[in-house]
Each structure stands twice: as structure tokens, then as C-alpha cells.
């Protein structure tokens, strides 16, 4: 079987890429997406936050702000077209503790907020204003509030997108690629059921799957955990970004996450330990979270490019017809839709890609490709 474009990976990156290719004019039947359905990839997390300021600073790089505004607008548009049981928007509250962390957040906001994109609104609240605005939260210090922000049930989003794409003629196949090699201006892929495929262009839309393919890149892994809580009669007037994130989902359940730690013991931590760690991080700000029933606990591993912590999106240096969209880390929702749109216009219309996330920012000798054979 020969296909013009084959995407390896149907998580958030691969599925949004397929959707954006169709938006840009690709014939759906020309798209083939192969996916091994790893339950521990970031796209399988049952509760995820999308907001412009993940991390310890309110002055992110411009590439991050640009990606956020594009990704949020695209996802908000998709929520109006598809069932929206995966999407909920609300303001975000970020307490400013009287310590180095809080001072850094306040100082970086003071320096940067006048230059935020017009789509992002933010405000500094006094302790009194914070308590008045969000009476269900326990806010004892000043706080920042900003929007837009959204909670996303990524597996549901992916299911809706894939269903729509399949109805249009795109093909999604559950399988593992056991061999990949390039020859005669094409890419040849063998699946675990011995199916042979040929693609004119191959996109590696992966997270941790990139590590064995490019062993000389500075790719690293970060493990994390997320809880889904049943709030009962408790209410949440805003999403909270403190030592952990707490946010409501569209179905009324709450998401709480995420922990981050080295990956060597990521699948051996006790459930009670995880629950206690996350609840201890959020209950000082949301006392109602204490004692809530845990509906689900997810564990997984994400990949990042360690040298600058930015994704990889574009052609692989030295490999004709091979592309990458991955290493999104914990910012998959922030980057994937935007970078998928860029890559789609590059693949179909030869439009330029953002320099900050382009693979050619990395010296070519690091792009040693070692595919399975």
C-alpha cells in the first residue's frame, strides 16, 4: 500500500496534524495514521490544562505566547464544531506566596504583562480583592488572575477528531512499526502484522518514541501523575495554578495534577502517596479538595528536548521526506495544534516554519536516524 502522507503516532500531535492537513486541503483518503496506542503517553491523561503561563514565570518566550493564542483559538473553534464534552473555559487564579517563587511571578508579570497578546487578559489582585472575587478559594496573599484558560479531556478530543476524519476518509490503524527505511525518494514501513507500507512523506508524531530513533539528540523524559476527583457538592469558581493545578472538567469532575519527577521509578509509586502529594499541594488554596473521592489516577511519561525545552516541528535534517512533530513535554496542548497547523501548511504549500521550533536549530550531526529494522 502506498500513501502520500503517513503519520506515525495518533496522539494529540498526530491527530491534530491530520485534522489540520485536511483543513489545508489534503484529501483525507491520502492520509494514513499508524498508532500503537501507548496508555502512558501524555495524550492519554484524563485531565489537562491549557493556559499561557505554565512554569515559574509570567514572562514566557514569544514562541510560547504565539503558540498558545493559535492553539486556543483553534481548539475553541473545534469545540463549536464537534461535541464539546472535552472543553471547559474559566479564569485562572495564581496565588502569589510571600517567598522567592511568588516574588518572581509578580516581578515577571510586572515587567511583561503590557506586552502580552491582546487575546490574553491579566490582573493583579490584592488579598482582599482575591478573596472577594473567589470566595470559595482560600487566598491569603495577592494573586494574579488571567484568561483565557481551558480544561481539556484530551482522549475525548482525540476520539472526536479521529471519528470526524475517518468519516471523511482518513485511515487510522492500530499497529506498531517494526521496520522503517528510506529508499527511492520514499519511506517504507513494516507493521507488526507484516503489512508493508510506502509513503512519499513520513511524519514522526511522537513523544518518548523519538528517543530510540534519534539517540544523539538531547531528548529527555519526565514522568507525571494526574488525579480525577469527584467534587460532590463542592464548587470551583476558577481554575487554580499553585503548587499543583486544580480545574473542573466539562462533566463536573475535577482534574488535579501534575507531579513531575525522574522517570526511573515512575510506575512504582504507591497510589496513596500520589494522592496525598497532590492533595497536600492544593488544599491550602482549595480546602474543599480535601477528602474528595478519587475517580481515576493516571501515570505517564512525556518527552522534552532538553537543550531549550522547545518542541521539534519540521523536516529532519539529512533525511528527504522525513518530518518530526514531537518532544512537546508537558505543553502538548499549548504547542500541538499551532505547530500542526504550521507543519500542515509546510507539507502542502511549502510555507516556512517557525525558527524557534525548527529541527535545523540543532546541529545536523545530532540527527542520527536509527530506525527499527
Q: What is the pLDDT of residue 241?
A: 96
**Whether 160 and 207 share a structural domain:** yes
**Whether 6 and 132 share a structural domain:** no
**Whether 343 and 321 share a structural domain:** yes
The CATH number covering residue 321 comes to 3.50.50.60
**Whether 178 and 230 share a structural domain:** no
Domain annotation covers residue 277: yes
Number of folded domains in the chain?
Answer: 2
Instruction: List pLDDT tens digits, range 216-252.
Output: 999 999 999 999 999 999 999 999 999 999 999 999 9
**Whether 128 and 234 share a structural domain:** yes
Instruction: List the domain range (segments joined by +) for residue 258.
Output: 86-152+220-304
Domain annotation covers residue 51: no
> Grid coordinates representing 373?
529494522
Of 288, 304, 320, the last residue of a domain is 304
Domain annotation covers residue 261: yes
Answer yes or no: are the C-beta atoms of 218 and 224 closer than 8 Å.
Answer: no
Q: What is the mean pLDDT of residues 104-126?
A: 98
pLDDT over 70 for what percent of the chain? Answer: 98
Cβ atoms within 10 A of the Cβ of 114, count? Answer: 6
Domain annotation covers residue 313: yes
pTM of the prediction?
A: 0.96
**Whether 203 and 128 share a structural domain:** no
Answer yes or no: are the C-beta atoms of 352 and 44 closer than 8 Å.
Answer: no
**Whether 160 and 124 share a structural domain:** no
**Whether 190 and 164 share a structural domain:** yes
Instruction: List pLDDT tens digits, range 4-40.
Output: 999 999 999 999 999 999 999 999 999 999 999 888 8
Lowest mean pLDDT among 25-34, 198-207, 253-262: 253-262
Q: What is the pLDDT of residue 269?
A: 82
Residues 6+ apart with CB under 8 A from 26: 5, 344, 348
The CATH number covering residue 109 comes to 3.30.9.10
Domain annotation covers residue 67: no
Which of 304, 343, 321 shows the shortest CA–CA distance to 17? 343
> Grid coordinates representing 298?
493516571
The sign of the torsion formed by the CA atoms of 134, 138, 140, 142 equals: negative
Q: What is the mean pLDDT of residues 172-188?
A: 96
Domain annotation covers residue 80: no
**Whether 141 and 225 share a structural domain:** yes
What integer best gives the mean pLDDT of the chain?
96
Q: What is the pLDDT of residue 373?
A: 87
Q: Which residue has the cell 514501513?
A: 189
Instruction: List pLDDT tens digits, range 268-322.
Output: 788 998 999 999 999 999 999 998 999 999 999 999 999 999 999 999 999 999 9
**Whether 161 and 293 share a structural domain:** no
Domain annotation covers residue 58: no
Of 254, 278, 304, the last residue of a domain is 304
**Whether 187 and 225 share a structural domain:** no
Q: What is the pLDDT of residue 221?
A: 92
Q: What is the pLDDT of residue 259?
A: 75
Gyration radius (Cα) of the chain, Å: 21
**Whether 242 and 139 share a structural domain:** yes
Of 289, 304, 319, the last residue of a domain is 304
Domain annotation covers residue 74: no
Amino acid at each position: 500500500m502506498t500513501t502520500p502522507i503517513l503519520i506515525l503516532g495518533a496522539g494529540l500531535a498526530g491527530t491534530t496534524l491530520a485534522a489540520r492537513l485536511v483543513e489545508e486541503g489534503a484529501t483525507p483518503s491520502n492520509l494514513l495514521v499508524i498508532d500503537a496506542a501507548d496508555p502512558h503517553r501524555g495524550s492519554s491523561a484524563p485531565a489537562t490544562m491549557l493556559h499561557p503561563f505554565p512554569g515559574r514565570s509570567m514572562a514566557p518566550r514569544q514562541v510560547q505566547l504565539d503558540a498558545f493564542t493559535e492553539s486556543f483559538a483553534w481548539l475553541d473553534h473545534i469545540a463549536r464544531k464537534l461535541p464539546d464534552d472535552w472543553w471547559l473555559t474559566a479564569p485562572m487564579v495564581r496565588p502569589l506566596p510571600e517567598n522567592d517563587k511568588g516574588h518572581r511571578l509578580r516581578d515577571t508579570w510586572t515587567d511583561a504583562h503590557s506586552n502580552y497578546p491582546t487575546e490574553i487578559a491579566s490582573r493583579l489582585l490584592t488579598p482582599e480583592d482575591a478573596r472577594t472575587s473567589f470566595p470559595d478559594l482560600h487566598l491569603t496573599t495577592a494573586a494574579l488572575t488571567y484568561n483565557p484558560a481551558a480544561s481539556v479531556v484530551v482522549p475525548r478530543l482525540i476520539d472526536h477528531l479521529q471519528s470526524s476524519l475517518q468519516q471523511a476518509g482518513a485511515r487510522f490503524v492500530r499497529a506498531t512499526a517494526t521496520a522503517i527505511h528510506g529508499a527511492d525518494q520514499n519511506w517504507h514501513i513494516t507493521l507488526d502484522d507484516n503489512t508493508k507500507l510506502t509513503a512519499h512523506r513520513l511524519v514522526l508524531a511522537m513523544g518518548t518514541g523519538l528517543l530510540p530513533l534519534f539517540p544523539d539528540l538531547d531528548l529527555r523524559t519526565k514522568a507525571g501523575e494526574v488525579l480525577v476527583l469527584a467534587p460532590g457538592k463542592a464548587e470551583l469558581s476558577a481554575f487554580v495554578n499553585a503548587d499543583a493545578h486544580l480545574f473542573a472538567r466539562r462533566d463536573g469532575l475535577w482534574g488535579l495534577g501534575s507531579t513531575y519527577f525522574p522517570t526511573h521509578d515512575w510506575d512504582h509509586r504507591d497510589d496513596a502517596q500520589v494522592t496525598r502529594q497532590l492533595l497536600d499541594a492544593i488544599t491550602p488554596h482549595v480546602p474543599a479538595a480535601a477528602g474528595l473521592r478519587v475517580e481515576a489516577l493516571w501515570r505517564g511519561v512525556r518527552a522534552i528536548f532538553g537543550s531549550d525545552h522547545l518542541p521539534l516541528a519540521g523536516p529532519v535534517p539529512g533525511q528527504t521526506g522525513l518530518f518530526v512533530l514531537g518532544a512537546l513535554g508537558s505543553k502538548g496542548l499549548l504547542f500541538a495544534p499551532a505547530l500542526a497547523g504550521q507543519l500542515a501548511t509546510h507539507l502542502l504549500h511549502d510555507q516556512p516554519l517557525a525558527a524557534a521550533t525548527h529541527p535545523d536549530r540543532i546541529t545536523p550531526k545530532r540527527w542520527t536516524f536509527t530506525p527499527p529494522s
